[in-house]
Amino acid sequence: MRRVFVRAPSCCRLTRRPRPDARAAILRYLCNSNHSLDACWYPVEPRARARVDAALDWQHSTLRRGASTLVFFRFFRNSKADAASDRTLKEALFFLQSALTQLDEYWLRDGYVAGSSMTVADLICACELSQLELLDACGVPPTQEQLLAPHAGVRRWLLRVAQETEPHFSDVHARLRAAAKSAKM
C-alpha cells in the first residue's frame, strides 16, 4: 500500500485549531472526491452510504464523547482528585459504557458498524476505541480490558478490524502503543 498525499481544498482548510467535528466532514469529502477509492470503504449506493454517514455521526456524538474525554482526563491530565474532574470522568464513563452497549447491540448486528463489510466507519470507530489502550498506563481503573469485558461482540469486531487491515493498523497505532508503554515506566 502506498501513501497518498492530498491537499485539502480551501473549503476544508482549518484555521488555527482543527475542530473535532471536522474530521468526518473531511473524510466524507475525500471519499467523494477520490474516484479511485474502492466503493467498499464508502459505498456509492445511497442506502449503504446513509448507514455509513449515520455511523460516523453517531461515533462523533457518542463514542468519541466518552472515549476521548476519559483518555484526556485520565492519561493526559492525570486527574484523580478534584471534584470537577471526578464529575467529568463519571460522565465520560457513563457515555462510553452506553456507547459500547449501543455498538455491541445495534451497530455491529450485521458484523460491521455499517453493514456486512468493513467501511470507513469501522476504521474511525476502531481507532476511537484503540486510544483506550492509554488507560492501561494510568494505573487507575478502568483499563481498556475492563471497559470492553462486557462487550464480547465489540472485542471480536475490534480484533477482526485490526487483523483485516494489517500491517497498516499496527503501523498507525505504533505511536499510541509506544506512548502507553513509556507512560507505564
- What letter does residue 142 receive in the DSSP assignment? P
**Digit-coded pLDDT (tens) for 110-163:** 999 999 999 999 999 999 999 998 888 877 788 899 999 999 999 999 999 999
The residue with greater pLDDT, 185 or 182, is: 182
Task: List, as one string, the DSSP characters of 12-58.
Answer: G---SS--TTHHHHHHHHHHHH-TTS-TTTS-SSHHHHHHHHHHHHH
Q: Are 58 and 119 in contact (CB under 8 A)?
A: no
CB 185 within 8 A of CB 136: no
| pTM for the predicted model, two decimal places | 0.81
Cell reading at 131: 486510544
What CATH number does the domain located at 46-184 have? Answer: 1.20.1050.10
C-alpha cell of residue 65: 464523547
C-alpha separations of 131 from 6, 11, 33, 128 in Å: 25, 29, 29, 6
Would you say residue 92 has pLDDT above 70?
yes
